[in-house]
Structure 1
């Protein structure tokens, strides 16, 4: 790999700590619900609040999700790990401490791989440890005071800590996207960043190439990839400005202000000893036997790298295309459903990377909410393959299907489709054929009719015929154009070209 690009002569060093909310129905040490959006303080049990006489009981489902992550990244699942109390005082921390893991985390090591501009990258993981979330301070709607919502208190988190292997905001974002896709793929997290299910803290420092690591500042609670890039880029420039002005960068926790695009210091950064970690006396060591790991391993889905390799091997996809098909489990399943409905693999992949992705990106949708079902896309591809519609015509059909599936009262420019025409998910061929007919996009493939058109065009353009026979290839294109014009654009281009060549031979 080539040396990292420098920013104003400095090397950027980034590590990420990612708080992944585990997709369990109940909290990590109590039976309280983890459902999002409940009225404030209605899902905080006596255990979450550490009321006298209560004892925490570990959620087995949270442990299994941690094991899944460890297996997927090639980490070591600790046969014995310890829960500790992380002591600090904050209004939304009802116990005055957070139950976490410190010296012996449940997962140690591992790597996350991704591509940036076609170049493979790998980021090492330090650890992944189980812990409980804190509550939430609420400032909106209060005058000169704040509210405390403890519904999140005790929600299970898996904190995934990377090594400082990233050298730009782009690398950090691509790593975070790859990790986000992986935890959703594994089914251990719903990945909803707006609801706080996937939050990243970025540790950022700068140094001259070859020098020791600089002083890092931690940007807290980044819950969008766009904000992550903006925050890191601003922080890098700020730190360089400090150093260039002869000032020191002090270790600190900072927040990103999305309104101004700036980071600002919140408090001086604590070190581990400031938290006075000690083993939680109410929780025994977590013992994970090999049989448990083997069972979880047997229930794992096919991983993205393995699936991409299979698509290359069995479907003949290029490596880059296979990566796109496995960008998420939902995308991969959609692709496989299009194939299962009869579409050739490469055509299915091309349409998913082309028109489908174009529409999804424009409307900020995920593949899960595509208005066009896999069966319908396969039916459209079949009509291209059998010559019923051209590629350009198929794009018009696709746009019409998308509009009608998204909004029932959409109108085709210049033509109103029959009011009886409806589109439903998975309906397929009937809808595709209805749009082709309504928009007059069916290709002319009747050989006798095409021959009549070709004969007329050749008779009307003797100069172009002579030029082609004299070796001027451009004359052939002119004849094709005249024939397509004569057919009002409905002729099958491939069939028309073959017939022209035969007549000109």
Structure 2
């Protein structure tokens, strides 16, 4: 009988912070930009240049730590991690080993198996390295130092996860929390959130951990799930064949669904860590921690509860609206302007979601303003336009953020509610469609629907359907 195995997973998640400037200099952190244009002597490691710590980095790190229930290290410091790598200009990285800024927290996740807390061992601040660009046709590599010195926090979990489902739930919860805090946009495709997976397997029921490997180059949730499944099976196959798992760093190739060894995993002393001599230790006061705590915004769970309580929204609506911080902000701003929470929710959940799906966009890419959505809701509420026209106008708002008042006026889309004018058109429709009129009089209720449709067509969709129905019934 084959043995049962258990997978043990811990994650190291690197998150690029949303500061305007780098961690130790005043260079821009904007994504993109021509190679080596966001650089200076500090972030390119020139001899004699000195780092100066960006206060905002410390505040973001504390905000994330507090949201994850961590203890803030009142006296923390930076260390030098020495290693040679072409995209690491100083030949060391300024990081935190001995006294990281946050320790001992946890994040509660929900999966099909129920709720579970994933422990957070520590969160530390560090600088990012540059980027190597390998020439496709040549044998040269080019270095871009724009990313060098971009501030990172590294969130190190405990080895508490047991399946790809738990890993994805943890990453989604983490990403949502950090986005709500405004500390990072957490875009996996741009590398502002990157996860390294530490994985080992052991016989089910045993306490001792197996030999772990670390997997890098994972830039989507799907790639992470595939890599975990592959590595688990690879390790089980080795153990079943009586071989040993080697502790090493492996690179995942998602296109081929295959991983290969990059290097054997060194221990910390190989990095020759020592206190960073160019930066003074950091003393964090209770007052500073209290100030950050006071500034913490509402996170998703509190927002969901408030939307249900304050606006009477159903649970389903709150789930969808709060699934993106941008969507939640848009909902709140529009509701404040028009005081119609359920109507705002319907537009966001219905037409907005439909257009996002059609155009393969993320909610963060929505460009229209709360003002224009509020104006559209007002136009429909006062009966100035009907539902069909409203959808047409909304598509223009979604694409170009047009002013709906101007658009309706310029294109003559206002609902015709002049009874006399409507009556003339309806009389013509009745004259032109004797068969439907006869069907209706013979008890076929549905025939009136055809006549309403013909009237709306004649009015280019600008009639009030209720009034059309009413006049038709009078005439018939």
TM bracket (short chain):
0.7 to 0.9
Give the Cα–Cα distance (whole angstroms) in 1 for the partners of residues 265 and 411 of structure 2. Answer: 62
Task: Name 2:246's counterpart in structure 1.
Answer: 250
Which residue of structure 2 lines up, in the alignment, with residue 92 of structure 1? 87
Q: Which residue number corresponds to residue 379 of structure 1?
A: 375
Contact 2:11 2:195 in 1 (8 A): yes
Pair 121,274 (structure 1): closer, same or farther in 2 beyond 3 Å: same
TM-score by length of 2: 0.80
Kindly tell me the number of residue pairs found equivalent between the two proteins.
461
Q: Is the 8 A contact 1:186 1:300 kept in 2?
A: yes
Q: Which residue of structure 2 aligns with residue 395 of structure 1?
A: 391
Cα distance in 2 for residues equivalent to 1:326 and 1:356? 14
Match of 2:229 in 1: 233
1:409 alignment partner in structure 2: none
Q: How far is the alpha carbon of 1:129 from its aligned partner?
A: 0.3
Match of 2:220 in 1: 224
1:264 corresponds to:
260
SS of alignment partner, residue 110 of structure 1: strand
Q: Does 1:112 align with 2:111?
A: no
Over 3 Å counting, the alpha-carbon distance change for 1:90 and 1:368 in structure 2 is: closer
Asked if 1 retains the 8 angstrom alpha-carbon contact of 2:24 and 2:149, the reply is yes
* Correspondences of 1:169-208 after superposition (within 5 Å): 169-208=164-203
SS at match of 2:338: coil
Q: Secondary structure at the match of 1:179?
A: helix
Tell me how far apart the structure 1 counterparts of residues 448 and 118 of structure 2 sit (CA, whole Å). 54
For residues 163 and 411 of structure 2, the distance between their equivalents in structure 1, rounded to whole angstroms, comes to: 48
Alpha-carbon distance in structure 1 between the residues aligned to 2:296 and 2:264: 42
Matched residue SS, 2:118: strand
Distance 1:501 1:461, change over 3 A: closer
Structure 2: gaps (5+ residues): none
1:73: which partner in 2?
68
Q: Following superposition of structure 1 onto structure 2, how do residues 313-324 of structure 1 map, counting pairs within 5 Å? A: 313-324=309-320
Q: Structure 1 residue 260: deviation in Å?
A: 1.6
Shift of 1:317: 1.6
- In 1, distance between residues paired with 2:109 and 2:373? 29
Structure 1 unaligned segments of length 5 or more: list them.
Answer: 1-7, 406-424, 465-474
Deviations 1:278-330 (A, max 9, x none): 33344333210011122233333333332222211111122342233223332
Match of 1:431 in 2: 407
Deviations 1:120-151 (A, max 9, x none): 66533221101122233332267333333444
- Structure 1 counterpart of 2:294: 298
Q: Structure 1 residues 207-216 or 488-497, which shifts more?
A: 488-497
Structure 1 residues 62-71 or 339-348, which shifts more?
A: 339-348
Q: What is the SS of the residue equivalent to 1:222?
A: coil
Partner Cα separation in structure 1 for residue 45 and residue 351 of structure 2: 51
Q: Relative to structure 1, is the Cα distance of residues 113 and 387 closer, same or farther in structure 2, using a 3 angstrom cutoff?
A: farther
The 8 Å contact of residues 390 and 443 in structure 1, kept in 2 or not, is answered as no
Q: Note closer, same or farther for the CA distance 1:393–1:175 as it changes in structure 2 (3 Å cut).
A: farther
Residue in 1 aligned with 2:124? Answer: 129
CA contact (8 A) 1:134 1:153 kept: yes
**Counterpart position of 1:4:** none
* Alpha-carbon distance between aligned partners in 1 of 2:113 and 2:416, rounded to the nearest angstrom: 38
RMSD, aligned α-carbons:
3.9
Q: 1:245 to 1:434 in 2, by over 3 A?
A: farther
Q: Which residue of 2 aligns with 1:287?
A: 283
238-247 or 287-296, which moves further after superposition? Answer: 238-247
